[in-house]
Structure 1
């Protein structure tokens, strides 16, 4: 029981010293017992009495000499055994103690901690394995912390989005309720129900469209992980994506050009890619005035959508990708949609691990959205 409570160094020392002490005692006993007999057997080959007497005297002399030297030899052997046991125990336990001290620091998750590797034996392999295990543990913890931060940010974004959505829905609902209430009471101009029923219909349509956009946006996070990815040539479907916006541009007197400079192979969700580009094109056409142009340029690893318009200040651009954000210039509810277009673009790009830029053009007065593959 006492040995079990001892630490590794005294335990190894006592074990080693005990074994060496046992060997010393056995060796001294064997020397004291067999040395005179071996000498006697050597001298017993002669039958002469004098020789026998001399052999007996020699045997007695040797025994006495061994007995006199026994204390000094035994004490010296014990000292040597003590020193050897101490050095052996220290050599064995020092790397193990260092591993123990290091793992104690690792248990407190201190970074930049590692076991020193002095050899390639089992202890060296143990130190290497501990270092590898701890490195993997720290990496896993860091990844979990990053995921936790991202999860918290995502939850906060959802909360903010729902708050903004409820605020945006409140306005048309309140307006619709007020018009209907005045029509029921027959107050002033609201007696003309035919006119205001049409206005109610417009508000309801706008409200329905907004609800659909909100629901689609809220489902993007869930659809991104389950949507099937495939490799396709974006050049083959680009004209199909641009076709509706070319027709809108013609009706508004806007010059809409599509240029395919190279084949662009993309491995992602085709459905989400179409949704992303549709929102970008819709945004570009909506904020391009009569007589100006919208151009789409497809290259090997990127697509650019340029539209001539009043340049947007650098300080405002990041806010355009926030939900329901509308600057003061030409971005009200009537002309500028519901403020979800670029927010959806940002969400889809993040879910597809794509990067983009949105900045002022250098050559012309306008904005350029660039999506990189």
Structure 2
């Protein structure tokens, strides 16, 4: 059974049962309540007359009892003296007065009859007995007459119950049906769909919760799409990285194989095994360094998650300053490090490698006798170095690609592996540090890292 049908049946039955109970209570309780109220009203009138007559003179008592008696057709007052002689009503009562007081003939025409009596004392000290007989019509006859109308009353109750049930069902289930229809539209996962929130009851709370759930679902889908795109991008980068790595390894390996074969067959100058074995060793050392750089670059993400700590950058770099000072003296560089306390949270090993790669590049590509400065302060790390050639912006962007080396560095013996800045980029990106590499003037390049961004 659907919710609307169930609500209709329940509300209709409850309305019918409640209405019948009320009618039954009216039938049985109303006459009792009415009789009690009428009796209480007549008793109040009797007490009022007693209060008024008490303490009056004998003549006033006899005069006023007539007024009080004839003023209430449902109360019959009788006054007796101390010896039991009736003083009111007396034989001198006129026929017209009797007509105004039907109870003088008989109280049997009333459904409820009763009496009260008390003693009234006059001003002169005489005692009188005041008797009040009452009578009134109760609602029994009215209730009996209603019985004949009960079939019509029941039909009216049923009709009203059906109307109330239909209206309530429409009101209570209409919003639920609207929420259900909106929920079906939400299956399309389109933006701008939301349930209408009316009122502050449980149904409106349900609509709000559904809107919130749908909003979070769309946000989660967008995040999943973004993560999927990022994953695909990383997969493409990995594939490209492996392709370039294999290309970088292929040439030296082929070269070394040629040297080894020449030595095996003693071809020409390759008979000098000592010379070419040293060259093979040099090639292997270069490739070993390249492989270590590749491993460092590919293990950045795992290391950041597992070894995150809080450390001081100035303390991390302080131990390397002696070797950099010696290198600066050897190459006639003007080296000025300024290391102030600077705290960072991340992988200490990888951040240290990234910072040293940046400093190494500054020493490797600075012009002879050029200035190299390092500034480390809270939240910022800056390396400036004077170079022979200022790199254009399009060239700077390529420096962070794996195995990329500027044309001028390929001819130098210390041109590098092309992995250093790629490793730096990965480390800084994984830590969420903002960084930039740009020219600050016609002779100086600057690498800046903002750790607090």
**Which residue is 2:316 aligned to?**
237
Q: How far did 1:144 drift?
A: 3.3
**Which residue is 1:169 aligned to?**
249
Radius of gyration: which is bigger?
2
- The 10-residue stretch of structure 1 (353-362 or 144-153) with the greater mean CA deviation from structure 2: 144-153
Aligned partner (choices 160, 163, 166) of residue 80 of structure 1: 160
Preserved contact between residue 323 and residue 340 of structure 1 (Cα < 8 Å): yes
Aligned partner (choices 372, 375, 391) of residue 312 of structure 1: 391
Question: Residues 49 and 203 from structure 1, CA distance in 2 versus in 1: closer, same or farther, beyond 3 angstroms?
Answer: closer
Query: Please, what TM-score do these two structures have when normalized by structure 1?
Result: 0.81
Q: How far did 1:26 drift?
A: 6.7
**Which residue is 1:55 aligned to?**
none
Query: Please, what TM-score do these two structures have when normalized by structure 2?
Result: 0.68
Between Structure 1 and Structure 2, how many residues are aligned? 358
Matched position secondary structure for 1:229: strand
1:259 & 1:34 partners in 2: Cα distance?
A: 100
1:251 & 1:151 partners in 2: Cα distance?
A: 46
Preserved contact between residue 438 and residue 446 of structure 2 (Cα < 8 Å): yes
Q: How far did 1:167 drift?
A: 1.0
Q: Deviations over 1:272-316 (max 9, x none)?
A: 221111000111111112121211122322111111111111112
Preserved contact between residue 284 and residue 306 of structure 1 (Cα < 8 Å): yes
Supply the RMSD in Å over aligned alpha carbons.
Answer: 3.5
2:31 & 2:333 partners in 1: Cα distance?
A: 123
1:211 & 1:34 partners in 2: Cα distance?
A: 101
- The 10-residue stretch of structure 1 (118-127 or 220-229) with the greater mean CA deviation from structure 2: 118-127
Preserved contact between residue 311 and residue 365 of structure 1 (Cα < 8 Å): yes
2:241 & 2:438 partners in 1: Cα distance?
A: 25
Preserved contact between residue 309 and residue 348 of structure 2 (Cα < 8 Å): yes
Q: How far did 1:341 drift?
A: 0.5
Q: Deviations over 1:85-144 (max 9, x none)?
A: 222112211232233233333444333443333333333333333334444444444333
Alignment of 1:192-341 (within 5 A): 192-232=272-312, 234-260=313-339, 262-309=340-387, 310-332=389-411, 334-341=413-420
Question: Residues 119 and 61 from structure 1, CA distance in 2 versus in 1: closer, same or farther, beyond 3 angstroms?
Answer: closer
More helix as a share of residues = 1
Structure 1 residue runs without a partner (length 5+):
53-57
Q: How far did 1:349 drift?
A: 0.6
**Which residue is 1:367 aligned to?**
445
1:206 & 1:235 partners in 2: Cα distance?
A: 31
Preserved contact between residue 242 and residue 281 of structure 1 (Cα < 8 Å): no
Question: Residues 28 and 236 from structure 1, CA distance in 2 versus in 1: closer, same or farther, beyond 3 angstroms?
Answer: closer
Structure 2 residue runs without a partner (length 5+):
39-102, 112-138
